[in-house]
Amino acid sequence: MNLRAVLADSLLITGFVFVMMLIVEYLNVATRGALQRLTGRKGFPAYAASSALGVAPGCLGSFAAVSLYIHGALSFGAIVANMIATSGDEAFVMLALFPREALLLNALLFAYGILVGVLVDRLAPQLGVATACCPTGLAVHEEELQAGLPLRPHALGRFSLQRATLVVALGLFTLAVALGALGPHEWSWVRVTLLVLGVVALWIVLTVPEHFLEVHLYDHVARRHVPRLFLWVVGVLVVMAALEAAGFPLADFVRVHRGWALLAAALVGVIPESGPHLVFVMLFAQGAVPFSVLATSSVVQDGHGMLPLLAESRREFVKVKVVNMIAGLVLGAALALTGL
């Protein structure tokens, strides 16, 4: 078991979610809550935007969506749409192994995510589904409303302990990404995105007023969300690494029991990690499982995207996963009936 890789992945995931939460908090206050009002609308644009974030290869779009959902800026249906559309890091592998089928799958996931998201939100009142995990939400205080747009800049040189702590943490994260110690070792859009977001977060921490920094960034994001997030991410990745080191015979099971492949794809998709889904990607590339099994796996699994939600609220994590499992089995069964 490679504990160094587990630690690096945990720091990367936690760091990125931390950066996204800082930026979301800043945009919400700087626009006097406009971001929250925009993403909270229940209409086609909201579902389409959330689903599009999920279709983007990797887990960055899902991390951003979870950050919004945690603070009540996305509806339950919108986060479901995002997770249905998400294929995690395996999206890159699929594009490399079978690009035509991968693009068709992404188009299908995008449309299916919107459809299920709309349906879920229409049923949400009857099901009693909550739309936020964080009790404080994305708050805008009177001090910030008086500050105008944008937030008045902080006078550089006056560093509180909270500001210095955030600057050091974000500086180390950004430097690690720039040097390739965290994230991709080669320059790619993922590495550039992480680097740009890290710099933006640093600028925010350096310039925002003291009230905003202490209440929103330090007390709310850094102290409330980040420690729990990091511990959950480390725990889940350690368990996954242990299963992999033990040689869990998932691939052999799927090959021998093809009739159970659809259900197995849905069950494995519940695991909040990218690796297990790769089994079904490789089996499809080898012709061992049909497209319906790959689609089911892609709908239910979401790479590392759900780890921040698992850390924040196990109840919300279970609700999203239950809905996505049902959606994945329905889509897989429908595709199987057509012979795919």
* Strongest mean pLDDT among 24-28, 61-65, 134-138, 206-210: 206-210
Share of the chain above pLDDT 70, in %: 75
E strand intervals along 185-334: none
Give 144's pLDDT tier (boundaries 50, 70, 90). very low
Number of H helices, E strands in the chain: 18, 0
Neighbours of 318 (CB within 10 A): 13
Sequence-ordered list of residues with C-beta below 8 angstroms from that of 287, at least 6 positions apart, any chain: none
Residue type, 316: E
Q: Has this prediction a pTM greater than 0.75? A: no
Give 150's pLDDT tier (boundaries 50, 70, 90). very low
Cα torsion 114, 67, 321, 128: sign: negative
Q: What is the pLDDT of residues 284-339, one digit of tens each?
A: 877 778 888 888 888 888 777 777 777 777 787 888 888 888 888 888 888 888 87
Taking only Cα atoms into account, the Rg of the chain, rounded to an integer number of angstroms, comes to 20
CA distance linking residue 126 with residue 224, whole number of Å: 31
